[in-house]
């Protein structure tokens, strides 16, 4: 699909004007009102931070009366003393003075911190059974490591809290401290901690009761990871709730431990389930530089019967691709981690370098492992009629395949730390029924997001390799191309790859692409990005050229994920800049 040079130039020019208008607004700093200030001299960075947490002058004006300013000066002296003692400075000398110099008044604290109290002894004793749990040894080691360190009252409070939380998590509900003390010896500048706890007996899960009116009890049993008689563990309750949510059958899940009114150290659990609406309709509209305008429609029956069978129909249309898919899902196994999907669908694609029409029937067995990895085993009957710059073919293939993937993110819409890794292996043999060629293909994709002060660093890469007995019959959708919004920016969608004698791109056996990007927030939900991309599709790892580009862009973090506007400049001398517009999650 070719777009006229005039239309492209007008579109790029329009977006450059928009970028120029947005940049001054994004970069304009907010102006803060004048307020009284607190000046601290002679204290360490940690001490200054703690003092400012105790003393806040932001609620006061520059024209406050003299008596109030004097009261705040005396109060600041007392609060600073408490803030320093909380960090173990019990011999600090503080001088607080009031100043009217400058545009607004200020309070100055001149501090001599003095020596810091050292924890000379930590005496930790736990009896009653909790001390024998496997995870308690690490907690005990952590608390005992306070001995010999400078005193910090927060560390002492945290130690008490950690013991109480550990006892509560593992069902030691009658636990109590028989002694908890922090003794300060000002003369010797030392402190002693004593923490004595009686844990009492550990409770166990009682009857697990499920309240649901839509799905059968036998079907729901497969999602249970807690059972009557198991030792109590509150994290298992949280995991149980998440397993039920992840099944996608329920809009609300309550897992309620009933601790009160039960004898025998037993905790019955009631699970209340509110089913999602049986039928769901999805409509979507979007745009990207790769595919142009996009429309989508989906229909889903979330539970066809009391055994949890479901099906969905999805269709997508854009200026480049069109596809329709029907999928029937059958849950199997325990905890909702296994599923069998039967699907069939059709797809057509028309790019600058190829066109194709594909139909396929598939069977997929998927499983989510305990550590979050998702594993799929599939087999597809595949037929594609395609046209490339060198040939026109129709190919039949029977393709078994394996894939694995995992995503870890601290925030699904705007991750500051996270990663995604996926890999696929698929192949076919000409000796099999329905297969016209031998083919073996491996591909992998990786994404990484890391914080860098206020900014984010984003990296992505992809690689692939294909072995085939007849490349001319390899379908266009199984060939590798590079270029586009999610590949090498600065180049059109699927316009990079091996070229024939006429300089036309024909798709490749192998693929390598990579990208590095830094995004800096400048306003709420807005950010500016700088990036560099490189990659290409090619036929041999012994001889290939990587196309490279650099650029900048604007990010808007919407409720559906980031919207990206990028201007990319390829290194090729015969190419100009290219505008890219895309949307969707980072991972």
What distances in angstroms separate CA 299 from CA 251, 311, 346, 560, one per listed residue? Answer: 18, 8, 17, 20
8 Å CB contact between 339 and 246: no
**Beta strand extents in 302-430 (DSSP E only):** 310-318, 321-332, 338-350, 354-368, 374-388, 392-409, 418-428
Cα angle 252, 266, 264 (rounded to 5 degrees) comes to 160
pLDDT at 5: 38
Same domain, 503 and 558: yes
State the CATH number of the domain containing residue 147: 3.10.20.310
Within-domain flag for 161:
yes
44 vs 88: CA distance, rounded Å:
13
Reported as type and span, the H/E element at residue 275 is strand 266-275
247, 223 contact by CB (below 8 A): yes
CA atoms of 499 and 221, how far apart (whole Å)? 57
Within 10 Å of residue 206's Cβ, how many Cβ atoms? Answer: 18
Q: Which of 70, 87, 112 is a domain's end point?
A: 112
Same domain, 261 and 292: no
Q: Are residues 472 and 578 in the same domain?
A: yes
Q: Assess contact for 86 and 153: CB atoms under 8 A.
A: yes
460 and 568 share one domain: yes
Burial class of residue 445 (count of CB atoms within 10 Å of its CB; 0-12, 13-18, 19+):
middle
* Separation in Å, CA 256 to CA 66, 221, 231: 57, 17, 16
**Same domain (yes/no): 341, 457:** yes
Pairing of strands 321-332, 250-257: unpaired
Q: Does the pTM exceed 0.75?
A: no
- 27 located within any domain: no
Same domain, 504 and 538: yes
Question: Between the CA of residue 418 and those of 341, 450, 509, 519, 584, what are the distances in Å?
Answer: 29, 7, 31, 15, 16
The answer to whether 87 and 119 are in contact (CB under 8 A) is no
**What H or E segment, with its residue span, contains residue 167?**
helix 153-169
Q: Does 284 share its domain with 414?
A: yes
CATH number at residue 444: 2.40.160.50
d(CA 473, CA 390): 11
In a domain, 29, yes or no: no
Of residues 138, 46, 57, the one with CA closest to residue 89: 46
Question: Does residue 547 sit in the same domain as residue 448?
Answer: yes
Domain end residue (candidates: 137, 168, 198) = 198
d(CA 265, CA 49): 46
Please provide residue 33's backbone torsions phi and psi, each rounded to the nearest 5 degrees. Answer: -70, 150
- pLDDT, position 13: 47
Residue 21 inside a domain? The answer is: no
List all residues 6 or more positions away from 404 whose beta carbon is below 8 Å from its beta carbon.
Answer: 373, 374, 375, 376, 422, 423
What is the number of domains present in the chain?
A: 4
Tokens 């979007």 belong to 286
Do 502 and 417 have their domain in common? Answer: yes
Number of CB atoms found within 10 A of residue 328's CB: 15
- List the one residue out of 369, 411, 392 whose CA is nearest residue 506: 392
**Structure tokens belonging to residue 251:** 């809009």
Instruction: Show which of 259, 275, 291 is a domain's final residue.
Output: 275
* pLDDT in the model for residue 10: 39
Q: Is residue 6 part of a domain?
A: no
Do 243 and 155 share a domain, yes or no?
Answer: no
- Give a yes or no: residue 4 inside a domain: no
Residues 177 and 250 in one domain: no
pLDDT in tens, the chain (587 residues): 333 333 444 344 444 545 545 555 555 554 456 889 999 998 899 999 999 999 999 889 998 898 999 999 999 999 999 999 999 999 999 999 998 877 899 999 999 999 999 999 999 999 998 998 888 999 999 999 999 999 999 999 999 999 999 999 999 999 999 999 999 999 999 999 999 999 999 999 999 999 887 777 888 888 888 999 999 999 999 989 988 888 888 889 999 998 876 678 899 999 999 888 889 999 988 888 888 888 999 999 988 887 889 999 999 999 899 999 999 999 887 666 788 999 999 999 999 889 999 999 999 999 887 778 999 999 999 999 999 988 899 999 999 999 999 999 998 888 999 999 999 999 999 988 889 999 999 999 999 999 999 999 999 999 999 999 999 999 999 999 999 999 999 999 999 999 887 788 888 999 999 999 999 999 888 999 999 999 999 998 888 889 999 999 999 998 878 999 999 999 986 778 899 999 888 98
What's the CA gap between 425 and 441, in Å, rounded?
A: 6
In a domain, 101, yes or no: yes
| Chain-centroid distance, C-alpha 370 | 18
Q: What is the pLDDT of residue 446?
A: 97
Residue 107 lies in a domain: yes
**Residues spanned by the domain of 149:** 118-198
Which residues touch 518 (CB under 8 Å, ≥6 apart)? 452, 455, 456, 457, 458, 529, 530, 531
Question: What is the DSSP secondary structure assignment for residue 276, as one 8-state letter?
Answer: P
Same domain, 385 and 533: yes
């Amino acid at each position: 699909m070719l777009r006229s040079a005039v239309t492209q130039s007008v579109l790029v020019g329009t977006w450059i004007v928009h970028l120029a208008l947005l940049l001054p607004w994004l970069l304009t700093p907010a102006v803060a009102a004048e307020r009284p200030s607190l000046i601290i001299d002679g204290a360490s960075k940690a001490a200054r931070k703690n003092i400012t947490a105790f003393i806040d002058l932001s609620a006061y004006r520059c024209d406050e009366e003299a008596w109030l300013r004097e009261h705040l000066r005396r109060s600041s002296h007392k609060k600073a003393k408490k803030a320093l003692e909380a960090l173990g400075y019990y011999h600090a000398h503080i001088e607080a003075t009031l100043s009217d110099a400058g545009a607004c008044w200020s309070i100055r604290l001149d501090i001599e911190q003095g020596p810091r109290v050292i924890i000379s002894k930590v005496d930790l004793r736990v009896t009653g059974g909790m001390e024998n749990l496997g995870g308690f040894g690490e907690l005990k080691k952590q608390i005992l490591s306070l001995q010999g360190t400078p005193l910090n009252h927060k560390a002492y409070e945290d130690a008490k809290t950690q013991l109480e939380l550990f006892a509560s998590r593992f069902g030691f509900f009658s636990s109590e401290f028989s002694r908890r003390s922090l003794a300060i010896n000002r003369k010797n500048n030392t402190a002693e901690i004593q923490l004595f706890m009686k844990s009492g007996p550990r409770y166990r899960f009682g009857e697990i009761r499920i309240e649901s009116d839509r799905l059968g009890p036998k079907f729901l049993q497969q999602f249970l990871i807690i059972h009557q008689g198991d030792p109590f563990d509150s994290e298992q309750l949280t995991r149980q709730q998440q397993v039920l949510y992840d099944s996608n059958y329920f809009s609300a899940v309550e897992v309620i431990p009933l601790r009160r009114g039960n004898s025998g150290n037993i905790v019955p659990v009631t699970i209340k389930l509110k089913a999602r609406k049986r039928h769901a309709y999805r409509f979507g509209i979007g745009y990207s530089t790769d595919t142009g305008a996009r429309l989508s429609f989906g229909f889903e029956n979330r539970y066809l019967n009391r055994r949890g069978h479901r099906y969905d129909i999805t269709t997508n249309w854009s200026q480049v691709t069109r596809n329709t898919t029907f999928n029937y899902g059958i849950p199997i196994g325990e905890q909702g981690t296994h599923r069998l999907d039967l699907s069939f669908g059709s797809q057509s694609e028309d790019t600058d370098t190829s066109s194709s029409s594909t139909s396929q029937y598939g069977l997929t067995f998927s499983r989510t492992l305990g550590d979050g990895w998702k594993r799929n085993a599939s087999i597809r009957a595949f037929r594609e009629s395609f046209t490339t710059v060198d040939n026109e073919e129709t190919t039949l293939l029977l393709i078994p395949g394996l894939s694995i993937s995992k995503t870890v993110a601290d925030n699904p819409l705007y991750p500051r730390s996270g990663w995604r890794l996926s890999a696929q292996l698929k192949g076919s043999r000409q000796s099999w029924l329905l297969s016209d060629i031998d083919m073996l293909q491996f591909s992998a994709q990786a994404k990484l997001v890391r914080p860098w002060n206020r900014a984010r660093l984003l990296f992505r890469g992809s690689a692939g390799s294909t072995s085939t007995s007849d490349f001319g019959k390899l379908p266009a959708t199984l060939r590798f191309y590079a270029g586009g919004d999610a590949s090498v920016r600065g180049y059109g969608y699927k316009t990079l790859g091996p070229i024939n004698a006429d300089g036309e791109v024909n798709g490749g056996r192998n693929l390598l692409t990579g990208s590095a990007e830094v995004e800096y927030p400048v306003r709420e939900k807005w950010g500016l990005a700088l990036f560099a991309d490189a990659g290409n599709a090619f036929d041999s790892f012994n001889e290939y050229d990587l196309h490279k580009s650099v650029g900048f862009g604007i990010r808007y973090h919407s409720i559906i994920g980031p919207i990206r506007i990028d201007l990319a400049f390829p290194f090729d001398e015969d190419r100009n800049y290219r505008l890219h517009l895309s949307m969707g999650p980072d991972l």
